[in-house]
Structure 1
Amino acid sequence: MKRTLAALSVATCLASPVLAQSSVTIYGVLDAPVEYVNRVARGAPTIVNNQLVSQPGGKRFAMSGAGLSSPRWGLRGQEDLGSGLSAVFVLEGGFGVDSGVSTSSRLFGRQAYVGLKSPYGRLTFGRQYTSIFEGLSNFTPTRYAVLYEPIAWQLGVNYRSDNTVKYLGTFGALTAAAHYTFGAGTGVLGSTALAGGGSGESPGNSRDNSGYGGSLTYLGGKFGATLVYDEWRPAITAGQSGTVRKFGGAVSYEIGPVKTSAGYRWNRSSFANGNTFVRDDYWWAGFSYHVTPPLSLSLAYYYADVKEARLNATAPAVEPANPWQVTFIADYDLSKRTDVYLTTAYARNAGLNFDSSPISFATGYFPTAGQKGMYGVAVGVRHKF
């Protein structure tokens, strides 16, 4: 009887399919800073007779919804399909630790993609970061810190795009990225709403709100370098798309506990009628220094040379004062997953993070009437899981 049961057990095992190895990981970041800003308006300026009209405001002392990182949670999964091929997915949503409220109407507004991974790279489909984001991520002095780095000015407000097919491959010290979006899902260009909320994929108007780009990055030992390109075609009126083009490069070098980085980004954004929305040259430089294993200091400088700008497609061209900003961060690791920090910045000729019309006042540092400079300082605690 025992031999019969053993034989049946062996037969059952042989008949059963081999289950692929798979894993799903829950991850996230909680970041809660308390911030002081010396002068900020209560809301974004409005356009009246092709002029920006600022709202009143004053000092702000409050808990902010994001600090060095944007609070988020997500699911990351992988299934081994055999022969070096894997299925992968990421679902990631953002929220504010100060209130627990989602930062958008989307459940997974930060990332939502599925794809395949092999030794030759990863091909993914869905809402994800563009190639310019990937290419410059190791060359920004404060690593895309929400407080305070001009991320939207540097990368464009479309740096996270819907309906995107993306390739990412790493081969030794070289990483290549390329993407195409059928409709970025970014809803505005400056202060003007885009057709269909920027979703694109409109029958007969496949160019509307689409875009593409690429990056090539070298990270070998102490030295790093990258080249990036990004193009987006926002359409205010269906069938009439403008063009936003960016290209740039950056380098980095590490000397013991010190890492330095510097970069340049060229931009020309045009309306469908050919008028320039913004033409600027953007520069940055900075360094980080690990004073001790748990304590790091970072200092960064950002500068934009704005050649020409318009508030809308028919407004007269102007040459506004060039914005610049200095940012400092002191970060102390209490453990591998928890740190405390102090960060401060001063911006001139724009709100902090270069908050202004070209980036649709996306960061919430609205300047008041006649304001030339803005100062902010924050202390916070961050935990990663």
Structure 2
Amino acid sequence: MLLKVRYVAAAAAMLMAGAAHAQSSVTLFGLIDTGVVYQNNARVTPSSGTSPGASSFSLQSGNVFTSRWGLRGTEDLGGGLSAIFWLENGFNVANGTFKNGGDLFGRQAWVGLHSDQYGTVTLGRQYDFLVDFVAPLSATGSGFGGNLATHVFDNDNLNNDLRLNNSVKFSSASYGGFKAGAMYAFSGEAGNFSNNSAYSLGASYAYGPFNFGAGYLQINRTAQPALANATGAVSTGDGDALTTGGDQQIYGAGAQYKFGKSSVGVVWTHSVTDNITGVLQGGSTSTGALVGTSMKFDNFEVNGRYFVRPDFSLGASYTYTTGQFSGASKGFTSASPHWNQVMAQADYSFSQRTDVYLEGVYQRVSGGNGNSAFDASVYTLDPSAGNEQVVIAVGMKHRF
């Protein structure tokens, strides 16, 4: 009888250990996206010595979604509370190098607590609420068109190029379809609490097939290079800053209607940078590329995606962007540029993890007043040598 009791006790202990193990998990995840890209009128001088404006074919990583791998995990602490973490690296498939200025976990790096009843608090390098609540309603960013559908210079961060370091973030649980959140990113500079600090607010609401979202981001920084805080909320060393200069504000809202897996959406965003000195163009933010007292953008987007079959979809978006640049010095004259951009995509899924795509973008800009910073420019590809550019990508995505 004693031997039987021991067997039962041993079996119970094994079951309890298995249950405890099941309550904690660590997952390796990732996505690889690469393809062949054609672009015309690139701002390079051909080897023949003719004037800039060459066409090119190249292998490009991350045409739709940036290639990445990461680790995420959770530990059940009981009572609806769990510890969570997320570490995510971005890389270039074409040559194996890190993205985000070479940072190991340059896409995301955070740890926090999640409550089923109240929401989630996280600390680390994280996305703002425009990324969380507005970008999913757009074609760019986490939308189906991804990187190639970026609004010019990603001026509104819907393509999540910008991350906030040193940040504390709260995202509420869903209450009848309503969510809200707030975050603050510390400057980390002694004696200058606001030099390169940031905060963001956002809210979303889901009602049946309708989804709504809004977000706000404020970046506080000085336009004086000698006083710049490179390790603050917005790093100047990882190449992710959307602009350089003084304070920056971004806000916007969007709505989406879903029918089955298909959807239509509209998005509006506004951004302004005071005392601007540079913009994100051609894959980097170049200080001195655009010097003025301010640069404003308004983006108006309409998008739609239709599933012809469960494994085949067609999508498109049109974005009209207006700009207002107030020149200050160094020959940078004021201008009122405006951009028209059309994106079209066909996507075929072999499985839930693997698909192929054909995506094209046409962009035309007017009113740049001869400033080369306002030439046509699609994502991180070579900017155009003029006011028009066509980009066509054929590629493959695989998730793991």
Q: Does TM-score exceed 0.5, indicating one fold?
A: yes
User: Secondary structure at 2:324's aligned position in 1?
Assistant: strand
Residues 1:64 and 1:6: Cα distance change in structure 2 (over 3 Å): same
More displaced stretch, 79-88 vs 244-253: 244-253
Per-residue deviation, 1:13: 5.6
Inter-CA distance 133–35: structure 2 relative to 1 (3 Å threshold):
same
Deviations 1:308-338 (A, max 9, x none): 344x787655124212210001001111111
CA RMSD of aligned residues (A): 3.3
Kindly indicate whether the alpha-carbon contact (under 8 Å) linking 1:235 and 1:272 is maintained by their aligned counterparts in 2.
no
1:242 equivalenced with 2:242 (yes/no): no
- Residue aligning to 1:121: 119
Q: Would the aligned equivalents of 1:149 and 1:327 in 2 still touch at CA under 8 Å?
A: no
- Where does 1:25-36 land on structure 2 (aligned, <5 Å)? 25-36=27-38
Residues 1:376 and 2:391 aligned together? yes
Tell me, yes or no, if the aligned pair for 2:24 and 2:74 is still in contact at 8 Å.
yes
In the alignment, the residues of structure 2 paired with residue 333 and residue 272 of structure 1 have an alpha-carbon distance, to the nearest angstrom, of 43
Residue 132 of structure 1: SS of its match in structure 2? helix
| CA distance in structure 2 between the aligned counterparts of 1:342 and 1:239, rounded to whole angstroms | 42
| 1:13-44 deviations in Å (ceiling 9; x for gaps) | 69x9995721000000011111000121249x
Q: Residues 25 and 256 from structure 1, CA distance in 2 versus in 1: closer, same or farther, beyond 3 angstroms?
A: closer
Q: Which residue identity is paired with 1:77?
A: G
* Equivalent-residue separation in structure 2 for 1:287 and 1:235 (angstroms): 40
Residue pair 1:215, 1:228 contacting (<8 A) in 2 also:
yes
Q: Report SS of the residue matched to 2:131.
A: helix
Superposed counterparts of 1:1-385, under 5 Å: 3=3, 6=6, 19=20, 21-42=23-44, 56=52, 58-103=54-99, 104-119=101-116, 120-142=118-140, 143=143, 145-150=146-151, 152-155=154-157, 159-171=162-174, 172-182=176-186, 200-237=187-224, 238=227, 242-256=246-260, 258-271=262-275, 276-310=293-327, 318-349=334-365, 357=373, 363-369=379-385, 371-385=386-400
**Aligned partner letter, 1:167:** F
2:338 aligned counterpart, secondary structure: coil
Distance 1:256 1:72, change over 3 A: closer
- In the alignment, residue 303 of structure 2 is paired with which amino acid? G
- Residue 242 of structure 1, CA deviation: 2.6
Residues 278 and 342 (structure 1 numbering): CA distance in 2 closer, same or farther, change over 3 Å? Answer: same
Contact 1:264 1:283 in 2 (8 A): yes
SS in 1 for 2:309: coil
8 A contact 1:165–1:179 mirrored in 2? yes
Can you give the 5+ residue segments of structure 1 that lack an aligned partner in the other structure? Answer: 44-54, 183-199, 351-355
Contact map agreement 1:141 1:260 (CA 8 A) in 2: no
Equivalent-residue separation in structure 1 for 2:355 and 2:33 (angstroms): 10
Structure-2 change in CA distance of 1:168 and 1:317 (3 Å): farther
The one-letter code sitting in structure 1 at the alignment partner of 2:339 is P
Q: Secondary structure at the match of 1:155?
A: coil
1:146 aligned counterpart, secondary structure: helix
Tell me by how many angstroms 1:169 deviates: 2.1
Structure 1: distance between partners of 2:387 and 2:9: 79
Mapped partners of 1:362, 1:160: distance in 2: 21
The CA deviation string for residues 79-109 of structure 1, in whole angstroms up to 9 with x for no partner, is 0111111000001001112222222311111
Question: Could you tell me which amino acid in structure 2 is paired with residue 208 of structure 1?
Answer: N
1:268–1:276 contact (8 Å) kept in structure 2 = no
Distance 1:328 1:165, change over 3 A: same
Q: Is the 8 A contact 2:211 2:257 kept in 1?
A: yes
3-state DSSP of counterpart to 1:287: strand
Alpha-carbon distance change, 81 to 348 in structure 1, aligned in 2, over 3 angstroms: same
User: Residues 134 and 177 of structure 1 are in contact (CA less than 8 Å); yes or no, is this contact kept in structure 2?
Assistant: no
> Distance between the aligned counterparts of 1:221 and 1:328, measured in 2?
27
**Given the superposition, is the C-alpha separation of residues 209 and 42 from structure 1 closer, same or farther in structure 2, using an over 3 Å criterion?**
farther
**Paired letter, 2:151:** P
Residue-by-residue CA offset, 1:316-370 (whole Å, 9 max, x unaligned) = 55124212210001001111111011000001129xxxxx859xx894333344x
TM-score, normalising length: structure 1:
0.80
- The 1:84/1:366 distance shift into structure 2, 3 A limit, reads same
- CA shift digits 1:121-162 (9 cap, x unpaired): 111001111111111132102516012322722227863221
Q: Which AA in structure 2 matches 1:367?
A: P
Q: Does structure 1 conserve the Cα–Cα contact (< 8 Å) formed by 2:348 and 2:357?
A: yes
- 2 CA distance for matches of 1:289 and 1:83? 42
2:148 partner letter? L
- Single out whichever of 284-293 and 162-171 deviates more from structure 2: 162-171
Do the aligned partners of residues 41 and 83 (structure 1) sit closer, same or farther apart at CA in structure 2, a change above 3 Å counting?
Answer: same
Distance 1:101 1:221 in 2: 43
Name the CA shift for 1:322/1:84 in 2 (closer, same or farther; >3 Å).
same
Aligned residue-pair number: 347
